A and B are shown apart, each in its own frame.
Chain A
Amino acid sequence: MTDVERLFRTYNAALVRYLTRRLGDRDWAEEVAQETFVRALRQQSIENERAWLFAVATNLVRDEARKDSRRRKHLALLAEQERETMVEPQETTLERAQEAAMARKAVDALAERDRLALLMREEGLDYNEIAEALQLSPGSVGTTLSRARRRLVESYEALQKDREEREKNAAS
């Protein structure tokens, strides 16, 4: 197994999920993830792989992913294999679609740094990795995360309350 394959197999799922949550589009997320691994190939050595990958992916989202079709093909193949092992998401119901829309709204309401820190944490990055990826001081990561979580939950609950009231009004 080449180094890039090992990197891919280890981190692709988390990276794609992170990017999907970040971007709201799975195809785009996969594209950025692939570009991230292409970038990793060009690196001589990476000290903290996970932090590096998430940082690069985050920057790529900002810069718009560039294309490297030759290597992308190989990675797309790997992604295909990976996808087969993934659990297929349950059928989308109206309820789930509404939840997803509210979650998206709540996440978008976060400050960029809070959002990224939270999404990285969800993918298992530790505080040092998050600090490295986002160029924060390790001591501020806890504060960033706590703020992100609180705001996310509060705005989500607010959206939920709005919706319930709308439904109540519609019913009466």
Chain B
Amino acid sequence: MQHPDEGTIHAWLDGALSADEAARVEAHVKDCQQCEAAVAEARGFIAASSRILTALDNAPRGVIPAAAPKRRIDPMVWKIAATLVVVATGTFAVLNSRSSEDRASRGVFTASQQSEAASARSIADSATPTTPAADEAATANRSVAPTVSAPTEGRSAKASPGAVGGVAGESAPRQSAADLSRAAPGRSEVAQRRDLAKAPTREQSFSAGAPAPLPAPPPAVAAQKVAESRVAEAVDLSAKMDAAAEAPTALPVVGRRRDIGQTITLYEVTPDDTVTLTEPMNVELGSVVVTRAATQAPTDGKQARAVERAAAGNQAAPQSTAAAAPAPPPPTPSSPSFTEGANGSNTLTWTDPKTGLTNRLTGRHTRAELEQIRRRIERVKAAATDSARKR
């Protein structure tokens, strides 16, 4: 037999020959040293080329072939999550320290600055129809809510954007409680009130606006005291922290309507829950002065006048024009009556000690909740009164 060519040897090694051909090649190679060497070489080529081609399998690709792609993703997810946690924590810490720095720096607020702010607010009070909203924001710090949540602050800030911006030129949509109180100058006053609250009688006579059973200092003296307490308060950082910690949620006013003889105010408790405050207007009592003094916020005006009366009443006889001077003031403002409505809407009715008129607060709340809401609203009004008094 002729020596098989290289192709035949490869074909034989690849098992591609017929049985006859394979037998012949096998027989020949056994006896032919030259062909034996050729077969050995062919085996080497086959093995080597296979190995070389295997090296090509390590080819690049956009995505490396993954045995388990999901497992591959896991560590990355963890890294991202960890990063987020770190960033969030850091942000919180920075914001936190920054806001307390703000508070501290605001502690150096001088009395003159404060009076400026106060007068600015007074202007805003007279100019802005949404005064109660502004005052809500201003008195935000006075609520008893124990914790402050950023969204709520943001909301209360937004609730009175015009007023807040108008007072201090700040209209950042998201303000911290401290910012808010700086913008709407309730902050220092709030703290002041907290100081005053240490003398409960004064606080009471103040918010109730009733002729004080105990003599209150004359306005001038009161103003001085106020200034003093403000300065003291400004120095008292811890009190500020306190105030900030107790910064509350002001109730935004979402609507107001004036019917004949009454004002109906819609307060938003939560985004989908509102309460209605119905306040009769003291029309017959001429209020010639009152309504003109605050045409756009008659309620506030009334209250302001009532406070004026209250203050004046301590040093002099009530003015003759103050026809609205309440008869014997109701002993406590906290003796309201509660009516359960059929549709889950309950009503709290009480008599305003300043005006002697009957207010009604209606909403889908329990009595305790309604009373709490009422207290919040009254605080707001007290702040309005306060500013009106200064004006």
Q: A: which residues have CB within 8 A of B?
A: 17, 20-21, 23-27, 29, 80, 83-84, 86-89, 92, 96-97, 99-100, 102-104, 106-107, 118-119, 121-122, 126-127, 140-150, 152-153, 156
> Are A25 and B67 in touch, CB under 8 angstroms?
no
Q: How large is the interface on B (under 10, 10 to 19, 20 to 34, 35 or more residues)?
A: 20 to 34
Partner-contacting stretch, out of B56-64, B137-145, B354-362, B370-378: B56-64
Could you list some 11 contacts between A and B, CB below 8 A?
A29-B59, A86-B67, A89-B65, A100-B56, A103-B52, A103-B53, A103-B55, A141-B11, A144-B7, A145-B7, A149-B48
> Roughly how many angstroms separate A141 CA and B60 CA in the complex, as a whole number?
31
> Roughly how many angstroms separate A73 CA and B122 CA in the complex, as a whole number?
69
| Secondary structure of the A contact surface, majority rule | helix
Q: Which one, B14, B45, B57, B64, contacts A127 given CB within 8 A?
A: B14
Chain B CB within 10 A, most for which of A29, A103, A119: A103
> Roughly how many angstroms separate A23 CA and B56 CA in the complex, as a whole number?
9
> Roughly how many angstroms separate A69 CA and B5 CA in the complex, as a whole number?
48
A88 in contact with B59 given A127-B14, A145-B7, A146-B10 (CB within 8 Å): no
> Roughly how many angstroms separate A165 CA and B199 CA in the complex, as a whole number?
98
> Are B55 and A99 in touch, CB under 8 angstroms?
yes
Bits for B88-126, please: 1 = Cβ < 8 Å to A, else 0.
Answer: 000000000000000000000000000000000000000
- Give the shortest distance, in Å, between A111 (CB) and chain B (any CB): 14
Q: Which one, B16, B56, B59, B61, contacts A142 given CB within 8 A?
A: B16
The 8 closest A-B pairs by CB, nearest first: A143-B7, A142-B11, A142-B7, A26-B61, A103-B55, A146-B10, A149-B45, A88-B67
Q: Which one, B10, B58, B68, contacts A100 given CB within 8 A?
A: B58
> Roughly how many angstroms separate A156 CA and B10 CA in the complex, as a whole number?
19
Assess whether B238 is interfacial by the CB under 8 Å rule.
no
- Give the shortest distance, in Å, between A65 (CB) and chain B (any CB): 15
Contacts of B14 in A (CB 8 A): 121, 126-127, 142, 145
Assess whether B180 is interfacial by the CB under 8 Å rule.
no
Residue of A nearest to B12 (CB): A142
> Are B56 and A21 in touch, CB under 8 angstroms?
yes
> Are B58 and A106 in touch, CB under 8 angstroms?
no
Q: Which one, B49, B57, B61, B66, contacts A153 given CB within 8 A?
A: B49
> Are B46 and A149 in touch, CB under 8 angstroms?
yes
> Are B45 and A150 in touch, CB under 8 angstroms?
yes
Contacts of B34 in A (CB 8 A): none
- Give the shortest distance, in Å, between A108 (CB) and chain B (any CB): 10
